[in-house]
Chains A and B, each alone.
Chain A
Amino acid sequence: MELGDVKGRSPWEDAWHRLLKNRAAVTSAIIMGVMVVVVVLGPMLSPWEGDFTDWDHTFSPPSFATGHWFGTDAVGRDILVRTLEGGRISLLVGLVATLVSLAIGVTYGSVAGYYGGYTDRVMMRAVDIVYAMPFMFFVILLMVVFGRNIFLIFVAIGAINWLDMARIVRGQTLSLKNTEFVEAAQACGVQRRDIIVRHIVPNLLGVVIVYATLTIPQVILVESFLSFLGLGVQEPMSSWGALVNDGAQDLESAPWTLIFPALVLTVTLYCFNYIGDGLRDALDPKDRL
């Protein structure tokens, strides 16, 4: 047989091709790309400041004539700009808290999985214990006890979300540990730390990417949840959750104050979930038929 037409195709290229075939994921990724650009640049281009109160137009419905495309709230603030500015906070929380949970989870999980034995048992038992806690209640407690501040939100959410990541990474590490290339490295006398950094972590990348993508919407949701309860970000800062909370108060008189932030939040979560799903299907060829 001729070997001429056999091109090397890395698993990453394979995954990339599978991902591009997933229409829901690609569409979602495009929407999110646009969303990020608009959220970052939008407020700078808008004629309104987020905290500007337009007393001539309080509770004005969406209209191009007034220049308030999404309408205004009770004190005449522009819903569009507030939604975009809230989006900055929500997306930032999503990103930062995910990175926090990523850093803790990957380190913890790969160490537990790689060292194994007693270390592993103790470390994972600890995870089990923390896992059984009513986690949202602790976040609320933290907010109450230490006061609301955005840094604490990052840390609190990130520090609690790492549990799943640690479990997944540990499981993956355990199975990687017994592969031949790791055994080969051990046989060559490569140090443990170097094996973890050079051989284990790069091979964990697939799962970690998938899981991180799915963590982002979770984190955004938690932040919105806190903000909705009035325990998240404080005025004049805003987030989507806080805006939905505001909007829910004026539900009957000014439904647009609820609907626009709620829509943007939902679309974002929807898209992230689809991207995560698509990545999982692409990177985990197990259930290809």
Chain B
Amino acid sequence: MNESRIPDADDEAVAVEPLALPLDAWHRARGARMVEFAGYLMPVQYEGIIAEHLWTRESAGLFDVSHMGQLGVSSGDDGGKAAALALEALLPGDISALKPGRMRYSLLLAEDGGILDDLMVTCTGRDYAIVVNGATKWDDIGHMREHLPDEITLRHFDEQALLALQGPKAVDALSRLGPVPLHGDGTALAALKFMQADIYDWGGRRLGISRSGYTGEDGFEISVAAEDAAALADALADQPEVKPIGLGARDSLRLEAGLPLYGHDLDEATDPVAAGLAFAISKRRRAEGGFPGAERILALLESGSPRQRVGLALEGRMAAREGALVLAGEREVGLVTSGGFSPSLQHPIAMAYVEAALAAPGTRLELDNRGRRLPATVVPLPFVPHRYYR
């Protein structure tokens, strides 16, 4: 037999030896199978993808996402005003309107409006903290260095690890560790809402915690100094609600949540409107423009995109994978960009780009998966409802 396709592991390959992340030994000691992803050796699974997936939906899963790029954009003593304006030249979000402790999903756009990366940007009150994808971080840094004005400082916090604790019991487990807001006017951990962030002290260690994630569940992402990462991972994994979860389940969880994965569902040839990410183009920016590709993107917002990202529910048990063609009769009408078996729904699901006229929920299509025709129906995204704490 032959594994013809391992989504997420194949097109991230780099020519150099993969690097070890700060928690490499921690993962191995817990029985992780390590694979190369985005230039790093990362845990793909511990006890099994389905068990890890379901555990995260029911309790809390601990993910190591330290491969992601943690960046800082600052502009001296102006409270980040100039940094916000500089970022607005690269992103379609209303960064200036972001209040301290708030974060936004945004897109790094190419001149033609294609998507260079998707990212999270947080206003700290002094500057902006940005988390970008691991596979694209070096390109992102190069792009930002080239396009940000000289008076704007870009930092790469490559000495920081990033852990995600996701699931309905994440708040119980993390609260029990007792992180306290570093600043007197800070937000108590349990009072943080989805897309809010603050700095916490945990036994003399500094944690940057946001209530966010990429599983569709309530949960947190925690930025921690690399040398403190094992202590934090130990303390979290010691909580009865928490198990370590690998990349495999991270992929099936985000797919069920309808969240696009850069390099698969998003790329430079894809615009935000086709991707269903028009919400990332803020109202003020739509009115004013001034972001890369604004002319094209604003026209697409007006006219609608000729193709759209949709969810597909498959009949039967065979999953369609990235690269499968979407057919209406014998006519090729789209392409699957992510697909797999949904552990929560117990049937295969996929995301695909299809012609706009065929994007309505209920539309029946077929997928050509390695020569086999699989019936599929367009369904609304997400496949599994989000359960964010708002």
Are A and B genuine complex partners? Answer: no
